[in-house]
Chains A and B, each alone.
Chain A
């Protein structure tokens, strides 16, 4: 999932303080699961912002809506009936959702309420960690299903470096050395040979280095 977290309320207030009628739009997918921008968080932020305004002797009207997916034009269309009543939109989706609203409603200002952090997985209740950087040419098949692109601080393809100590990365005791994890996993799978093979330099063109990416599926595209 895409993992995000809410911006400091102070920053959000800087965006919206000149207005008094906003449309607060949540998203029912990734950001709901990582507790950053689902229906519940929309309700909480709505109350917090209204209280912040009232404290200053002002009022803020908030229309709360949580879309099924904010990165999908089909659902963003549901805002049509509400958009005119709002001066600006505050989005609680990841950056993809914010941009979809900006694209659809060209005459309306939209502000992000979240910082989009990474693609990750839930480690345990309330803890999410980075797992993939969308490099466009997945090498998990060579690394025992553990990603060094996203999880090695130096993005080494032939790790570990000399900084790996006791299973930790040299940048912090709180960061696992992913190459230690890869080695342990290959060992338990009886695939030590795989580790001996040197990986050649990765072609980064399928990654962002080749510019913004797009996928066109001939069988689906209209």
Chain B
């Protein structure tokens, strides 16, 4: 596990976390390349299905980064996302996979430094947890059509 480099998927809202990630870059705040950003129009658009798919495909950790409480551009998409993250945690618990692999975080577009800090913290947490237990088999699993 010594050289385990976790793959982390971050669903980032266009109006806050994604802009904060940009700002982190322009302010020269480093964050680990382990974090793969998926830009979404609002975290309310992130479904349980998407988070589960990322984990099933072998992501070691997933987090959803939305606007601060009360600041969602679409009223309450961030609150909905938090409930969905909670449901994923429940499912992971049911199947015996560490629920700490998923997290909901909030920030504003101006919080570039915090974006970098959170990315570091989550990467370190997942590094300690070790690889997603489904990872190796997932890589070999044949891809099936869905309908």
Give chain A's interface residues, CB within 8 Å of chain B. Answer: 8-10, 40, 43-44, 46-48, 50-52, 54-55, 57-59, 61-66
Contact = CB atoms under 8 A, between A and B. Distances in A.
B141 A43 contact: no
Nearest to B58: A54
A66 B146 CA distance: 10
A52 B144 CA distance: 17
Given A48-B52, A51-B52, 14 more contacts: A9-B94, A43-B53, A43-B146, A44-B48, A47-B52, A52-B95, A55-B95, A55-B133, A58-B137, A59-B137, A59-B140, A61-B144, A63-B146, A64-B146
Interface in B100-147: 133-134, 137-138, 140-142, 144-147
Nearest to A21: B144
A50 B141 contact: yes
A9 B144 contact: no
B96 interface: yes
Interface string B34-46: 0000000000000
Contact of A54 (B133, B142, B145): B133
Q: 5 tightest CB-CB pairs across the interface, nearest first? A: A54-B134, A47-B52, A54-B137, A52-B95, A47-B56
Interface string B11-39: 00000000000000000000000000000
B47 interface: yes
Interface residues on B, range: 20 to 34
Interface string B89-103: 001001111000000
B91 A48 contact: yes
B7 interface: no
A93 B7 CA distance: 36
A63 B95 contact: no
Q: Which of B48, B53, B146 has the most CB of A within 10 A?
A: B146
19 contacts: A9-B94, A43-B49, A43-B52, A43-B146, A44-B49, A47-B53, A47-B56, A48-B91, A48-B94, A48-B95, A50-B134, A51-B95, A51-B97, A54-B141, A55-B96, A57-B137, A58-B137, A59-B137, A59-B141
Contacts of B140: 59
Contacts of B56: 47, 50-51, 54
A51 B47 contact: no
B94 A8 contact: yes
The interface centre, meaning the residue of A10, A48, A65 with most chain B CB atoms within 10 A of its CB, is: A48
A130 B48 CA distance: 27
A65 B56 CA distance: 19
Given A44-B49, A51-B97, A52-B96, A64 B55 contact: no
